């Protein structure tokens, strides 16, 4: 598959996932889509998110799991992709680790 097509699909999934989450997750929680990883065959996609406050991560993942079917219907209505990939939402641990390292570095520089 072409890299350009792969990039367009990732971008589309990222935008639509962010829109769906904005409409689905209640007030008081900020959920951000940080990246979308798509398999070369387009059979699977992982959508990575961050949640603030962190204590709401489990609740957000539970809501996403409960409304997964609605998300897939949302994608069908808002895309013209012939075959939708199997989609999994995951907490972006890499981003969390980067933020933690940044915090530690700031504390160290203040000493």
Give pLDDT tens digits for 43-52. Answer: 999 999 999 9
Q: What is the pLDDT of residues 77-99, one digit of tens each?
A: 999 988 899 999 999 988 777 77
Q: Alpha-carbon distance 55 to 41, whole Å?
A: 35
pLDDT at 111: 67
Higher pLDDT: 111 or 20? It is 20
Average pLDDT, the chain: 91
Looking at residue 108, what is its pLDDT?
A: 80
């Amino acid at each position: 598959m072409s890299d350009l097509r792969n990039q367009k699909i990732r971008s589309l999934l990222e935008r639509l996932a962010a829109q769906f989450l904005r409409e689905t997750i209640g007030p008081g929680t900020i959920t951000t889509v940080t990246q979308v990883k798509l398999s070369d065959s387009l059979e699977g996609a992982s959508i990575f998110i961050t949640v603030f406050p962190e204590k709401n991560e489990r609740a957000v993942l539970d809501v996403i799991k409960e409304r997964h079917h609605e998300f897939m219907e949302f994608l069908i209505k808002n895309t013209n992709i012939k075959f939708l990939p199997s989609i999994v939402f995951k907490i972006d641990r890499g981003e969390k680790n980067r933020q933690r390292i940044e915090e530690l570095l700031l504390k160290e520089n203040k000493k």
